[in-house]
């Protein structure tokens, strides 16, 4: 690297969003530098992709000539081309409610089960991402493209002069005196800390309906839920897929438990607390709280009977409140990627798709803007859209938290999300690339979600017989409201909570 090299873009943070952004910008002809505070492979909690995320990956692969993005956009292609990069098969979304002190129960009509397929078969399936492997794989592609990449590097000072950033960083144990310059900085750290320190932003959890936190880790030797169901005589012959090959949600009084499996039998699992029902203490003892909660739910506890925490991270981690949003997402010579700008909750597996939708839209702005004035104008539009997307996601998640203690209303509330995401998928397939994640720019859709959310808030304040009586009215309301977006037969009573064909064909 030359002593005073100037870059068009300095990207801070080499998670999958930062790496993909770096490669797409380099393919667009820009000089790019990618800086990472740590090094790969590194621990990051497992996440699951969705059809929306996979569509964006394929479009980025085609537009920017990055074929390996297409190769990790479907489970079949992933296993064919990159089996060394660990992932898991994700056929859909599965939900099971549990009562404290009782073993899981259901019946032949699956009254306490909900399985929603997101793909038609294993080959075209979504995936669970072992982020340590995926992020490391993408950084290797960054290096192969000849993009300047520096790990174990932390930026210590930034100064903007004459429309250029002058950057000083610590690399390893030494402080660099190189005069690195960049016209623009993209914050892909996935945390508000960098922009708060250098750009004077503020991050806040205020304004969210959702209020959740989590205890999580990776586990080994955890029993499979499908095996438990079969061993205990539950009827599974009409299941659209094996629920262990899905984003598995175990609903509990405190919130819910996620379970995402990988091909190497590693499990990403976490307890998500609904803090609107009582906030955990700030000094939460993660291990004792994890064991205390599992002990309340015998069927879930059985799965973890012989389970051990994986060497990476080697412990249970407490997140603190998950909801956050920057007050500004761009400024003079800088912009934040979506996951840096804000986050809601993992309930609907929106994280990967939300990040990638921001990458796609931001690339369009950076490539197509005529000048700095035009770029700033477009970034303002992007910021407003991003805030709308967070608001929509918040209401979609909050609706499910409001109803989660009653499984039939909960199952109806989940359908608001599926109606929104299927609508987004269909628009992309028709050739219309909406600029807003989950069609948050669709006023009719957002009005429906807003109205249903208000009705759920009111219903949740009821108690006893009145709440039970009004539950059927609430379910019918949601069924009627989603009609304009219900092309997949959602809430069809004849399907008995088993949805085989909600996936959009592509």
- Mark whether 113 and 177 lie in a shared domain: no
Domain tally for the chain? 3
- Mark whether 217 and 298 lie in a shared domain: yes
Question: What does the pLDDT read at residue 501?
Answer: 74
What CATH number does the domain containing 222 carry? 3.30.9.100
Which of residues 262, 295, 321 is at a domain's end?
321
- Mark whether 120 and 58 lie in a shared domain: no
pLDDT (tens, 9 = 90+) of the chain, 506 residues, equals 444 689 999 999 999 999 999 999 999 999 999 999 999 999 999 999 999 999 999 999 999 999 999 999 999 999 999 999 999 999 999 999 999 999 999 999 999 999 999 999 999 999 999 999 999 999 999 999 999 999 999 999 999 999 999 999 988 765 555 568 999 999 999 999 999 999 999 999 999 999 999 999 999 999 999 999 999 999 999 999 999 999 999 999 999 999 999 999 999 999 999 999 876 655 579 999 999 999 999 999 999 999 999 999 999 999 999 999 999 999 999 999 999 999 999 999 999 999 999 999 999 999 999 898 999 999 999 999 999 999 999 999 999 999 999 999 999 999 999 999 999 999 998 887 777 999 999 999 999 999 999 999 999 999 888 998 999 999 999 999 999 999 999 999 999 999 997 655 44
- Residue 170 to residue 156: CA distance in whole angstroms: 6
378 assigned to some structural domain: no
For the residues of 429-458, what is the DSSP string, one character each? HTT---SSGGGTT-HHHHHHHHHHHHHHHH
- Mark whether 341 and 309 lie in a shared domain: no
**Rg of the chain over CA atoms, in angstroms?**
23
Q: Rounded to the nearest 5 degrees, what angle is found at the Cα of 30, between the Cα atoms of 26 and 32? A: 65
DSSP-assigned letter for residue 223? P
Which of residues 302, 321, 340 is at a domain's end?
321
359 CB-side CA count, 13 A: 29
- Mark whether 302 and 437 lie in a shared domain: no
- Mark whether 304 and 280 lie in a shared domain: yes
297 assigned to some structural domain: yes
Phi, psi at 220, each rounded to 5°: -120, 155
Question: What does the pLDDT read at residue 1?
Answer: 43
382 assigned to some structural domain: no
- Mark whether 17 and 135 lie in a shared domain: yes
- Mark whether 288 and 227 lie in a shared domain: yes
Rounded to an integer, what is the distance from CA 184 to the centroid of its chain?
Answer: 26
- Mark whether 199 and 222 lie in a shared domain: no
Answer yes or no: are the C-beta atoms of 239 and 498 closer than 8 Å.
Answer: yes
487 assigned to some structural domain: yes
- Residue 207, token pair as written in the block: 């304004």
392 assigned to some structural domain: no
Question: What does the pLDDT read at residue 503?
Answer: 56
Cross-strand pairs, 267? 219, 261
- Mark whether 241 and 277 lie in a shared domain: yes
The dihedral formed by the CA atoms of 479, 482, 488 and 490, expressed in degrees to the nearest 10: -30
- Mark whether 345 and 426 lie in a shared domain: no
- Mark whether 299 and 230 lie in a shared domain: yes
| 3-state class (DSSP) for residue 371 | coil
Answer yes or no: are the C-beta atoms of 45 and 258 closer than 8 Å.
Answer: no
Give the dihedral sign, CA 354/356/362/365. Answer: negative
List b or e across 103-129, with b for residues whose CB sees 16 or more CB atoms inside 10 angstroms.
ebebeeebebbbbbbbbbeeebbbbbb
Cross-strand pairs, 325? 204, 342
What domain range is 263 assigned to? 89-129+211-321
394 CB-side CA count, 13 A: 22
């Amino acid at each position: 690297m030359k002593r005073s090299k100037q870059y068009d873009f300095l990207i801070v943070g080499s998670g999958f969003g930062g790496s993909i952004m770096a490669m797409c910008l380099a393919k667009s002809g820009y000089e790019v530098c990618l800086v990472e505070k740590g090094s790969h492979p590194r621990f990051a909690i497992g996440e699951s992709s969705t059809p929306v995320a996979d569509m964006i990956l394929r479009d980025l692969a085609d537009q920017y000539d990055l074929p390996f993005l297409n190769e990790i956009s479907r489970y079949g292609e992933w296993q064919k081309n990159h089996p060394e990069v660990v992932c898991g098969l994700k056929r859909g979304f599965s939900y099971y409610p549990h009562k404290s002190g009782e073993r899981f129960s259901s019946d032949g009509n699956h009254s306490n089960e909900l399985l929603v397929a997101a793909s038609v078969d294993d080959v075209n399936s979504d995936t669970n991402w072992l982020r340590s492997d995926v992020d490391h794989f993408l950084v290797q592609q960054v290096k192969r493209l000849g993009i300047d990449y520096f790990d174990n590097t932390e930026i210590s000072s930034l100064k903007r002069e004459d429309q250029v950033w002058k950057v000083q960083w610590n690399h390893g144990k030494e402080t660099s005196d190189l005069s690195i310059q960049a016209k623009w900085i993209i914050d892909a750290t996935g945390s508000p800390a960098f922009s708060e320190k250098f750009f004077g932003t503020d991050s806040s959890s205020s304004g969210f309906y959702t209020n959740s936190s989590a205890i999580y880790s990776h586990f080994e030797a955890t029993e499979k839920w499908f095996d438990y169901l079969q061993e205990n005589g539950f009827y599974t012959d009409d299941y659209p897929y094996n629920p262990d090959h899905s984003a598995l949600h175990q609903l509990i009084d405190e919130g819910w438990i996620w379970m995402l499996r990988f091909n190497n039998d590693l499990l990403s699992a976490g307890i998500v607390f609904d803090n609107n029902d009582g906030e955990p203490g700030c000094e939460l003892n993660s291990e004792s709280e994890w064991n205390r909660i599992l002990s309340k739910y015998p069927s879930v506890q059985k799965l973890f009977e012989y389970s051990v925490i994986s060497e990476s991270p080697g412990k249970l981690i407490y997140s603190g409140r998950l909801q956050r949003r920057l007050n500004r997402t761009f400024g003079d010579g800088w912009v934040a990627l979506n996951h840096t700008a804000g986050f809601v909750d993992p309930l609907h597996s929106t994280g990967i798709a939300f990040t990638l939708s921001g990458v796609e839209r931001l690339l369009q702005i950076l490539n197509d803007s005529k000048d700095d004035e035009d770029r700033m104008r477009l970034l303002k539009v992007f910021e407003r859209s991003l805030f709308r997307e967070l608001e929509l996601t918040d209401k979609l998640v909050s609706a499910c938290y409001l109803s989660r203690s009653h499984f039939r209303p909960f199952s109806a509330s989940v359908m608001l999300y599926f109606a929104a995401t299927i609508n987004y998928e269909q628009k992309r397939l028709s050739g219309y690339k909406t600029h807003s994640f989950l069609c948050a720019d669709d006023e009719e859709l957002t009005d429906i979600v807003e109205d249903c959310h208000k009705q759920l808030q009111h219903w949740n304040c009821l108690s006893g017989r009145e709440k039970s009586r009004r539950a059927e009215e609430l379910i019918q309301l949601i069924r009627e409201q989603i009609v304009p977006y219900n092309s997949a037969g959602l809430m069809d009573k004849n399907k008995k909570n088993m949805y085989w064909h909600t996936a959009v064909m592509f």
